[in-house]
Structure 1
Amino acid sequence: MSKSQHGKGPSLRLLRVGENVRHAISAILSRGDVQDKDLETASVTVSEVRISPDLRNATVFVMPLGGDAEGVVTKALNKNAAFIRGEMSKVVHMKYMPRLKFIIDDSFDEASHIDALLRDPRVQRDLERNGDARGNPGDEEE
């Protein structure tokens, strides 16, 4: 990584590799190649894959349909990570196949929380008050 890229996030190369890995894992899971009783009935969305700069580790953000309150699905995915990695190596060609770590993607919950906050009547009232103070120059007292 060059000195100019520090603090700017992942490079285009890392993003491209992460997207290729995401597609490969999604295909493996959708085909049902992983033989695990905890994953048989689960529908899992792979929302993002973050690759380390050395391309040796990958954090896979997943969201099981219906949630994963006890972490059953993520535990099963992490238990079968070596198998998924092996299947992935048939599709994604890299010098080193990254080690996979599956975690729950909580960005969906965070977005819902922010949306609920913005819809709160108290917040709406404050936003309307600030809009009137800034946006209507004809309402100023003389």
Structure 2
Amino acid sequence: MAKNRFSEGAGPSQRQLRVGELIRRTLSDVLNRGDIHDPDLNRLSITVSEVRTSPDLKIATLYVLPLGGNNREEAIQGLKRNKHELRRALSKETTLKFTPDLRFLIDETFDRLDETRELFARDDVRRDLDEGEDEA
């Protein structure tokens, strides 16, 4: 089996990062302007926090979160329902050779941050951390 940089756990290339950021900014603008003709989607304020592209740039996974973290499923369904219109807007506003297929996932970064804060607030964890500082 041939080894490549992805089988060894390397991260995304500069090109993937650059294209992902271009897609993120463009679709954030499209959603903020309300360019999509779907009243259910337009009434939600959706943040596109990150876009990860496949190595061949044919698939873009958008990590999104509605304002306040509410209506998550409704936001995902609205984005999926309007995927073709979003791709068309992306195609019009960028100079990408190919417009990638769009996939949508809820960004759970903030949930993980809350869980981490709760973990560090626990008495047994704080005690262990304080003991570690005393040894240093």
TM-score (norm: length of structure 2): 0.90
1:28 aligns with 2:30: yes
Letter of the structure 2 residue corresponding to residue 97 of structure 1: T
Partner of 2:109: 107
Secondary structure of 1:110's partner? helix
- The equivalent position to 1:123 in structure 2, one of 125, 128, 133, is 125
| Structure 2 residues not aligned, in runs of 5+ | none
Partner of 1:80 in structure 2? 82
CA shift for structure 1 position 111: 1.3
Distance across 1 between alignment mates of 2:83 and 2:70: 18
Contact kept in structure 1, 2:47 and 2:65, CA below 8 Å: yes
1:40 is matched with: 42
2-structure distance, mates of 1:41, 1:90: 23
For 2:76 and 2:4, locate their aligned partners in 1 and report how far apart those are by CA, in whole Å.
Answer: 36
Partners of 2:71 and 2:91 lie apart in 1 by 31
C-alpha displacement of 1:69: 4.8
SS at structure 2 position matched to 1:89: helix
- Distance in 2 (CA, whole Å) between partners of 1:4 and 1:75 is 34
Is 2:66–2:72's contact at 8 Å kept on the other side of the alignment? Answer: no
Measured in 1, the distance between the counterparts of 2:4 and 2:99 equals: 26
**Which of 52, 55, 60 lines up with 2:54 in the alignment?**
52
Q: How many aligned positions are there?
A: 133
The answer for the alignment partner of 1:140 in structure 2 is none
Of all paired residues, the percent bearing the same amino acid is: 42
Q: TM-score, normalised by structure 1?
A: 0.86
In 2: Cα distance, 1:91 partner to 1:50 partner:
19
Q: CA deviation at 1:70?
A: 5.5
- Higher-Rg member (1/2): 1
Are the counterparts in 1 of residues 31 and 42 from structure 2 also a CA contact under 8 Å? no
Structure 1: segments with no counterpart, 5+ residues: 136-142
Q: Which runs of 4+ in 1 moved over 2 A?
A: 2-6
Structure 1 counterpart SS, 2:94: coil
The CA deviation string for residues 100-135 of structure 1, in whole angstroms up to 9 with x for no partner, is 111100111011111211122221111112222x12
Distance in 1, matches of 2:14 and 2:48, equals: 20
